[in-house]
Amino acid sequence: MSTATTTRPTAGTTSASTVAGGGERIGLRSHLRHIGALARRNVLQIKQDPESMFDVLLMPIIFVLLFVYVFGGAIAGQGRQEDYVNYLVPGLMAMMGMNVAMGIGTGINDDFRKGVMDRFRTMPIARSSVLVAKIVVELGRMLVATAILLGMGFLLGMEIKTSVGGLLAAVALSAAFGSALMWVFMLLGLALPTAQAVQGMAMLVLMPLQFGSSIFAPPSTMPGWLQAFTDYNPLSNLADAARGLMGGGAVAHPVWMTLAWSAGITLIAAPLAVARFRKKT
């Protein structure tokens, strides 16, 4: 007659099956360590595929040159492109966040197709750490794009009329809003069947928000119904806040509206994305 023996895990350890099944909570220190390891993995992927940075490196240059020299004369008047640069670049900071955030949705969808996420879900790590690590890396990409955008702006005559602190505050505000949007696009990447579907849906969201805002032109030039939409568009609030922080003017209302949008989007989209990640097969 044989006797079955059981082995209890020692104190301070957690089995992979227990964590994967959600039986125990992972401590904050372990959670941060997992995020760091996964973020490093994502950075190494970029190093192995440097072409994935082309959008971040080239998109700010193309957009600034295109809009300043194609539309700047018509909007600001001939010979006043420098005035339009001061108007455009803070607005483009808002747009950079949306365009970079779109890539995170297609990326996570592609990772599921390749089976990478199935491997992560068998490991003794918090489910949210996989998603947070992606946001950390994409925030880094967004800051690179913002730095190039600002560099182009300075080359074309942009001036900071407030202070370096105002400039950094504008960058931080754009990063906060961009990170909130990343949760939305991750949710799309987890909910839609293919990366092409994610990209198509993202463009349907991006186009009205970008062009129905104060990013490229003052809302006063728009018809009344579009002005009403622009007033409630979060991209308009972010663009106006960045202009005020960098060039002077009223900032309280657009800053608080942007922070409210960022918090609201994150509070709704982040739990939905994590829940969808747990259930996705």
Q: Which residues of the chain have pLDDT under 50?
A: 1-23
pLDDT per position as a tens digit, 214-252: 898 888 888 888 888 998 899 999 999 999 999 888 899
Contact indicator for 210, 218 with CB cutoff of 8 Å: no
Query: How much is the pLDDT for 24?
Result: 55
Q: What are the two backbone dihedrals, phi and then psi, of residue 157, each rounded to the nearest 5 degrees? A: 105, 10
Query: How much is the pLDDT for 19?
Result: 45
* SS3 assignment for 120-155: HHCCCCCHHHHHHHHHHHHHHHHHHHHHHHHHHHHH
Give the tokens for residue 175: 């990063």
Contact indicator for 210, 95 with CB cutoff of 8 Å: yes
Query: How much is the pLDDT for 11?
Result: 40
Rounded CA separation 125/232 (Å) = 39
Q: What are the DSSP calls for 28-51, one per residue?
A: HHHHHHHHHHHHHHHHHHHHH-GG
* Nearest Cα residue to 106 out of 34, 41, 37, 182: 182
E strands, the chain, where? none
Rounded CA separation 180/261 (Å) = 8
Query: How much is the pLDDT for 171?
Result: 95
The domain locations on the chain are 27-279
Tokens 């492109």 identify what position?
81
Contact indicator for 55, 103 with CB cutoff of 8 Å: yes
Rounded CA separation 146/5 (Å) = 60
Rounded CA separation 198/72 (Å) = 32
Provide the greatest CA pair distance for the chain: 97
